[in-house]
Amino acid sequence: MARKASLSGFPEWLPQERLVELHVLDSLRRTFELHGFSSIETRAVETVAQLLRKGEIDKEVYGLHRLQADEAEGKGDDKLALHFDLTVPFARYVVENAGHLAFPFRRYQIQKVWRGERPQEGRAREFTQADIDVVGDGELPFRYDVELALVIVEALSALPIPDFKLRVNNRKLAEGFYRGIGLTDTAGVLRSIDKLEKIGPEKVAALLQEELGATDEQAQAALKLASIRTEDTSFVDQVRALGVQHELLETGLAELEEVIGEAHRRAPGKVMADLSIARGLDYYTGTVYETVLVGHEQLGSICSGGRYDALATKGNRTFPGVGLSIGVTRLVMRILGQEFATASRHVPTAVLVTLANEDSWSQAQDVAGQLRERGISVEVAAKADKFGKQIKYADRRGIPFVWFTSVAEDGSHSHEVKDIRSGDQHAADPASWAPPAEDLVPQVTPAAH
């Protein structure tokens, strides 16, 4: 991360950095699969009509045109554009393939997305998201809202990142509360509350009064609700103490209590009720999630999501869903930038098989093949340079072992392997030798802090 991207907003990694990213991706995949999520990928492009389906949109979209196309071609809604998240494409995929999927359908999806926004710290124009969602046909038990929080906590806990907090709120709770105090433009209130962290409570109160016609008392009540944060279910009493009555508020309280209660038992300290979480323009209808790295709150949310009553519809069929999206690139940039983790070496190679002379290349390939059969990554030297030069080749790459084969006058072969870090050199049999477990593949380990 000392290097600057050659194209602003489009980060690329060196091989040793890519090993860290691969470690994150492999770890996420493993957790998701252990919890029964199926992998899917969707195409990178959607029609513009599909992307703008929900009307108002706060994402900058990249449209596509063929360089060699006629001017007349591809105007209008069937024009193509790059997806800006994985939720819109997933909703389309579910509708198109509903007849082939078993509901509730659990999927993970790890892909790049593109947004033409101004690049800044933690915000790239091309970045990788890792999403999990469960989507039902007609109905989806609330319990999935609890389960997905727990899966994400497990997934994030397996990564080489600092401590994190998954902050959970519930739109029904907030909307019921606003209605209970007489504020009916609940979307407007949510949009104002969403600015709390950025502009502070006084300015939010002013917004509520100026833009939504709230009284000072209403504005203060909304701010009081947003100030409630608890790691256990004590938020319920705190909300009740505000003395607001509304049926939707009760439903929201019960739902959030279920998430926080279970999460507090199963993942203490990782999940909290945070009644300020609003999630801006996103069309959630119940649970909403955000996640911050403790001590890195200014990085923004590294994992967000929530519940949709209707992730997608098809005729009179409705597909409710709940899911979360991890900002993989944002995380990896931070891991690399702060050296939270490093790879034990830069290359997959564990062993370089040296050449005693130019004619021994094919025989060296035999040795390499025997080692590879046991999962050992091996390169064979391309030239019979002096051994010192061949060892230097391994050393420059961080390849830990070099292999020497010598042929006796009777045609018999003898082998030795040298650990170039320690200098230890021993006789070895290509049919049985293996490096220590920690040298078999590059290890990505959290730095000691």
**Closest separation between CB of residue 68 and a second copy, Å?**
6
Using rule CB under 8 A, residue 406 touches a second copy: no
Using rule CB under 8 A, residue 158 touches a second copy: no
Written in H, E and C, the secondary structure of 246-262 is CHHHHHHHHHHHHHHHH
Q: Which of 8, 97, 234, 313 binds a second copy (CB under 8 A)?
A: 97
**Closest separation between CB of residue 377 and a second copy, Å?**
5
Using rule CB under 8 A, residue 44 touches a second copy: yes
Q: Which of 55, 70, 100, 422 binds a second copy (CB under 8 A)?
A: 100
101 or 206: whose CB is closer to a second copy? 101
Using rule CB under 8 A, residue 64 touches a second copy: yes
Using rule CB under 8 A, residue 40 touches a second copy: yes
Using rule CB under 8 A, residue 47 touches a second copy: yes
Q: Which stretch binds a second copy (CB under 8 A): 65-73, 179-187, 192-200, 407-415?
A: 65-73
Interatomic CA distance for residues 215 and 449, integer angstroms: 49
Beta strands in 348-424 (DSSP E): 351-353, 378-380, 401-407, 413-419
CB 96 within 8 A of CB 46: no
**Closest separation between CB of residue 95 and a second copy, Å?**
10
Using rule CB under 8 A, residue 383 touches a second copy: yes
206 or 387: whose CB is closer to a second copy? 387
Using rule CB under 8 A, residue 234 touches a second copy: no
**Residue (of 200, 234, 230, 204) closest to 219 by Cα position:** 204
Interatomic CA distance for residues 45 and 53, integer angstroms: 14
In the region spanning residues 75 to 94, those forming contacts with a second copy, defined by CB under 8 A, are 80-82, 92-93
- Please report, as a single letter, which amino acid is at residue 253: L
Using rule CB under 8 A, residue 264 touches a second copy: no
Using rule CB under 8 A, residue 42 touches a second copy: yes
**Closest separation between CB of residue 205 and a second copy, Å?**
32
3-state secondary structure of 420: coil
Using rule CB under 8 A, residue 347 touches a second copy: yes
Interatomic CA distance for residues 381 and 402, integer angstroms: 10
Using rule CB under 8 A, residue 265 touches a second copy: yes
Q: Which of 346, 370, 420, 440 binds a second copy (CB under 8 A)?
A: 346
Q: Which of 1, 61, 407, 434 binds a second copy (CB under 8 A)?
A: 61
6 burial class (0-12, 13-18, 19+ CB within 10 angstroms)? exposed
Angle at 154 between CA 150 and CA 155, to 5 degrees: 115
Using rule CB under 8 A, residue 396 touches a second copy: yes
Tokens of 292: 């911050």
Q: Which of 8, 36, 121, 158 binds a second copy (CB under 8 A)?
A: 36
Q: Which of 6, 316, 422, 432 binds a second copy (CB under 8 A)?
A: 6
165 or 345: whose CB is closer to a second copy? 345
Using rule CB under 8 A, residue 144 touches a second copy: yes
Say which DSSP state 4 is in.
P
Interatomic CA distance for residues 322 and 105, integer angstroms: 11
Using rule CB under 8 A, residue 22 touches a second copy: yes
Using rule CB under 8 A, residue 427 touches a second copy: no
Q: Which of 37, 90, 319, 433 binds a second copy (CB under 8 A)?
A: 37
294 burial class (0-12, 13-18, 19+ CB within 10 angstroms)? exposed
141 or 200: whose CB is closer to a second copy? 141
Which H helix or E strand runs over 342? strand 341-343
Using rule CB under 8 A, residue 334 touches a second copy: no
Q: Which of 191, 195, 266, 415 binds a second copy (CB under 8 A)?
A: 266
CB 276 within 8 A of CB 292: no
Interatomic CA distance for residues 312 and 379, integer angstroms: 50
Using rule CB under 8 A, residue 157 touches a second copy: no
Using rule CB under 8 A, residue 348 touches a second copy: yes
Residue reference for tokens 């034990």: 344
27 burial class (0-12, 13-18, 19+ CB within 10 angstroms)? middle
10 or 53: whose CB is closer to a second copy? 10
- Please give the full DSSP string across 159-207, using - where no structure is assigned: SS---EEEEEEEHHHHHHHHHHTT---HHHHHHHHTTHHHH-HHHHHHH
CB 104 within 8 A of CB 134: yes
119 or 162: whose CB is closer to a second copy? 119
Which H helix or E strand runs over 74? none
Using rule CB under 8 A, residue 126 touches a second copy: yes
Instruction: Spell out, one character per residue from 354 to 373, where the chain touches a second copy: x when CB under 8 A holds, - when not.
Output: -------xx--x------x-
Question: How many residues at the interface with a second copy, by CB under 8 A?
Answer: 82
